[in-house]
A and B are shown apart, each in its own frame.
Chain A
């Protein structure tokens, strides 16, 4: 059950229900939650009946758990509620959830921590304080029961929303003592359960948000309706960095339903109309002249040439260096070298970008599918020209995120439109074409891989030179000269959550930063996507050069990395590595440590008449602790779709400074017919917390392409695969 249903919006004085009702309303229209122009202290009064910031217990024992991170399909919502429920010791069947707002967080000094939802951090960065939130609420409920009975707290236990006094056997329910518990002072510290005692964490409970997703009842941002709301369609300069020079809106203004044709910032035009279709039709009739400057002369060939120069340049940032790599390579009689490349890609979530904003000179309110509610509030306040405490953001469920919705360019545009129409709610919805052309893209890179093999055929020295864009530089460019971007070295790093796992004595990874005008951004998996493709493909090349089985070859390099070796062995064993295969078929392996987890894949493919058939992938994942194994399985399976769709089909090319692929007809995505079967082995070894939403993406392409090599002898070094023959 979802708390965001209209029958629960009856008490309009209780702000949290009203806010929630807008987020998930199934009725026709809903009211605004803030009286515009009124004082907007984000409703402290709404919290009077909570146990603590995380937990509300109602008289009927139903429990509402507050979740600050966003839900975009990855299942974090359910996982986080499981962690609170574990420590709360409540009846799982009575649990629902709600999103606190960023304004509430601000007013209460951020009791829920970060709202940022990316980097596979939802669980692994908040498990401690989320569980403590549940444990504190439990202690308060126990204290209330003990006070009611005049007994010692230590003699009381909680289980399934029932509190029992052990010496007497007296019992009561959470709901019966909730009101008293809400008045008590929270303990300063709590002891969390031993993982061996978990009964909710680690269970494959069903998601909490499925029912409303199969009936069409769930309202995404694109579906939001407010009284008096107008619809906006927008077109920004398709050459990033370009400006609007002239606009002829004469034809558009007289079209049916059109209310306004507006200039937005210095690079966009919006049409505001009674319906979105009318706005979009009219926008197509607006003649816009662009000033695209020098960016308008950039194309894929000039970008590729710039990156190629970077493969040999001397101005590289060093991200990982051990031993004497360059010297060892310089002394080698024979080197193995290969060059690889990875294109621009777009996130392309199924729900195009959108935001609904209502602005007055006193306050501003927005409904946003965002991966970071707090960052959305910042962006809103800046664009609105108001202090943050006069603004509020209501988060909605995301129709896909993949990193795209951690950037709020669309919200800023929506606010700039709303600001021109005071008091009128405006929903800005991007077309799919706008989503493609005005994306923030997966960075483009090339790599040159160089290795010297020792007498055993193993790499004595390896140099990975990456040439290409830096996401972090794009973020901090206003700060001045380029600095090293450590994120470029994900899965190649000296240590930490993205540590390079292989034992190679002389190893160097460096980055020649080469930026273009296309804005780079975090795309699910981020820099592991190309790095692991480069590394795992090249390792396979080295194994072939050494005439060694690829699994055996990796084993010899993983003697100091037992957890990495364990997932690799498991994936290979589950796939029946070494079994005889039909001609034209092959198995391929890939491995990485990323976002704190260890993941491996073994793919089986066949290539028939040059056509690739991906039969099955066996995956193994060690995330340390597994909160909800069936959702991890869903993330792993979905990651193969996302990673393989990218590897096989996805490429943005640039001509005259603009992206050429405007919709799914030229930017195809994998369909069910191409999707291999996936068998996932979740093998949590305990003792650490790793993310699961992204790491598997990185092993998808190299596992399949190493299998293609095994099947055909054809080595694919440049993505996407669609551009190259496999026979």
Chain B
């Protein structure tokens, strides 16, 4: 049995330690907000936070996540009201929405480290794929989330 800390809760899973964290979340813990898109850490649909750092968990053995705080889209905010989520709703950012949990987790991690990101910061740090092409609203949404977060702090 492996012990994990997922969204603040300790869970035990009986799983091969080489299993990618993505499939432990999805098939063992039935937390399906974190998506499978490519399996080779190219698309970012599986982005979670590992000790607060945006991590593509489709290639991360679950054993490497032991002892670290795992945050998934389900645990980003209690009420779905993280500034990024608020901004996404305000701008109607998602289209099909499948990539958006990963996109939102990547954006939230960026804002944690860089509360007022420039367009260049976004270009360098947001490398998730979106085949619907929501990028114009993703960019606007990150700037809007930065505003919302600073309003909360003020």
Complex: A400 Cα to B45 Cα, angstroms: 13
With a cutoff of 8 Å between Cβ atoms, the chain B residues found around residue A630 in the complex are 92
With a cutoff of 8 Å between Cβ atoms, the chain B residues found around residue A352 in the complex are 36-37
Cross-chain contact B45 with A664 (CB below 8 angstroms): no
Cross-chain contact A73 with B38 (CB below 8 angstroms): no
Complex: A547 Cα to B35 Cα, angstroms: 53
Question: In chain B between 30 and 80, which residues have their CB closer than 8 angstroms to a CB of chain A?
Answer: 30-40, 42-43, 45, 72-74, 80
Cross-chain contact B37 with A215 (CB below 8 angstroms): no
- CB-based nearest B residue for A219: B32
Interface size class of B (residues with CB under 8 A): 35 or more
Cross-chain contact B40 with A664 (CB below 8 angstroms): yes
Of A2-10, A328-336, A653-661, A671-679, the one contacting chain B is: A671-679
Q: How far is the CB of A428 from chain B (nearest CB, A)?
A: 13
With a cutoff of 8 Å between Cβ atoms, the chain A residues found around residue B39 in the complex are 431-432, 663
- CB-based nearest A residue for B96: A73
Cross-chain contact A672 with B138 (CB below 8 angstroms): yes
With a cutoff of 8 Å between Cβ atoms, the chain A residues found around residue B23 in the complex are 275-277
Q: How far is the CB of A680 from chain B (nearest CB, A)?
A: 9
The yes or no answer to A610 lying at the interface (CB within 8 A) is no
Complex: A663 Cα to B58 Cα, angstroms: 14
Cross-chain contact A672 with B85 (CB below 8 angstroms): no
With a cutoff of 8 Å between Cβ atoms, the chain B residues found around residue A402 in the complex are 131
Question: In chain B between 104 and 154, which residues have their CB closer than 8 angstroms to a CB of chain A?
Answer: 104, 122-124, 126-139
Interchain CB contact (< 8 A) of A213 among B100, B133, B135: B100
- CB-based nearest A residue for B141: A214
Cross-chain contact A215 with B133 (CB below 8 angstroms): no
The yes or no answer to B16 lying at the interface (CB within 8 A) is yes
Cross-chain contact B92 with A207 (CB below 8 angstroms): yes
Interchain CB contact (< 8 A) of B99 among A231, A350, A398: A350
Say yes or no: A432-B37 contact (C-beta < 8 A), given A398-B96, A673-B123. Answer: yes
With a cutoff of 8 Å between Cβ atoms, the chain B residues found around residue A638 in the complex are 95, 132-134
Question: In chain A between 497 and 554, which residues have their CB closer than 8 angstroms to a CB of chain B?
Answer: none
* Interface-centre pick from B35, B89, B98 (highest chain A CB count, 10 A): B98
- CB-based nearest B residue for A678: B136
Cross-chain contact B94 with A213 (CB below 8 angstroms): yes
With a cutoff of 8 Å between Cβ atoms, the chain B residues found around residue A634 in the complex are 92, 95, 134, 137
Per-position binary interface string of chain A over residues 630-661, scored 1 when its CB falls under 8 Å from any chain B CB and 0 otherwise = 11001001111110010000000000000000
* Interface-centre pick from B35, B37, B100 (highest chain A CB count, 10 A): B37
Cross-chain contact A350 with B89 (CB below 8 angstroms): no
Q: How far is the CB of A670 from chain B (nearest CB, A)?
A: 8
Per-position binary interface string of chain A over residues 586-623, scored 1 when its CB falls under 8 Å from any chain B CB and 0 otherwise = 00000000000000000000000000000000000000
Q: How far is the CB of A280 from chain B (nearest CB, A)?
A: 8
Q: How far is the CB of B119 from chain A (nearest CB, A)?
A: 9
The yes or no answer to A725 lying at the interface (CB within 8 A) is no
Cross-chain contact B80 with A215 (CB below 8 angstroms): yes
With a cutoff of 8 Å between Cβ atoms, the chain B residues found around residue A220 in the complex are 35, 98
- CB-based nearest B residue for A206: B92
| Count of residues in A whose CB is under 8 Å from the partner chain | 62
Cross-chain contact A349 with B72 (CB below 8 angstroms): no
Complex: A349 Cα to B100 Cα, angstroms: 13
- CB-based nearest B residue for A432: B38
Q: How far is the CB of A410 from chain B (nearest CB, A)?
A: 15
Complex: A210 Cα to B45 Cα, angstroms: 17
Say yes or no: A400-B20 contact (C-beta < 8 A), given A29-B30, A350-B35. Answer: no
Per-position binary interface string of chain A over residues 216-242, scored 1 when its CB falls under 8 Å from any chain B CB and 0 otherwise = 111110110100000100000000000
Cross-chain contact A348 with B131 (CB below 8 angstroms): yes
The yes or no answer to A191 lying at the interface (CB within 8 A) is no
Cross-chain contact B96 with A351 (CB below 8 angstroms): yes
Complex: A637 Cα to B138 Cα, angstroms: 12
Q: How far is the CB of B114 from chain A (nearest CB, A)?
A: 15
* Interface-centre pick from A213, A401, A664, A670 (highest chain B CB count, 10 A): A213
Cross-chain contact B98 with A400 (CB below 8 angstroms): yes
Complex: A397 Cα to B100 Cα, angstroms: 14
- CB-based nearest A residue for B32: A223
Question: In chain A between 389 and 422, which residues have their CB closer than 8 angstroms to a CB of chain B?
Answer: 397-402
The yes or no answer to A170 lying at the interface (CB within 8 A) is no
With a cutoff of 8 Å between Cβ atoms, the chain A residues found around residue B127 in the complex are 671-673
With a cutoff of 8 Å between Cβ atoms, the chain A residues found around residue B139 in the complex are 672, 675
Complex: A209 Cα to B96 Cα, angstroms: 9
* Interface-centre pick from B93, B126, B131, B135 (highest chain A CB count, 10 A): B131
Q: How far is the CB of B60 from chain A (nearest CB, A)?
A: 13
With a cutoff of 8 Å between Cβ atoms, the chain A residues found around residue B26 in the complex are 223, 276
* Interface-centre pick from B27, B43, B92 (highest chain A CB count, 10 A): B92
Per-position binary interface string of chain A over residues 342-385, scored 1 when its CB falls under 8 Å from any chain B CB and 0 otherwise = 00000011111000000000000000000000000000000000
Complex: A456 Cα to B71 Cα, angstroms: 67
With a cutoff of 8 Å between Cβ atoms, the chain B residues found around residue A231 in the complex are 27
Complex: A348 Cα to B135 Cα, angstroms: 17
With a cutoff of 8 Å between Cβ atoms, the chain B residues found around residue A429 in the complex are 36
The yes or no answer to A63 lying at the interface (CB within 8 A) is no
Q: How far is the CB of B12 from chain A (nearest CB, A)?
A: 16
Interchain CB contact (< 8 A) of B45 among A217, A350, A631: A350
Complex: A400 Cα to B131 Cα, angstroms: 7
- CB-based nearest B residue for A223: B32
Can you list 15 contacts pairing A with B, beta carbon distance less than 8 Å? A73-B95, A73-B96, A75-B95, A210-B88, A210-B94, A217-B33, A222-B32, A222-B36, A277-B27, A397-B96, A399-B35, A402-B131, A670-B133, A671-B128, A671-B135
Chain B residues in the interface with A (C-beta under 8 A): 16, 19-20, 23, 26-28, 30-40, 42-43, 45, 72-74, 80, 85, 88-89, 92-101, 104, 122-124, 126-139
6 shortest A-B CB distances, which residue pairs? A216-B33, A641-B133, A399-B98, A73-B96, A213-B97, A73-B95
Chain A residues in the interface with B (C-beta under 8 A): 28-29, 72-75, 206-207, 209-211, 213-220, 222-223, 225, 231, 256, 275-277, 348-352, 397-402, 429, 431-432, 630-631, 634, 637-642, 645, 663-665, 669-673, 675, 677-678
User: A352-B36, A634-B134 known; 19 other A-B pairs, CB under 8 Å?
Assistant: A210-B88, A210-B94, A211-B80, A214-B80, A214-B100, A216-B73, A216-B101, A231-B27, A275-B19, A276-B26, A350-B37, A352-B37, A397-B97, A634-B92, A637-B137, A641-B132, A642-B131, A664-B40, A665-B42
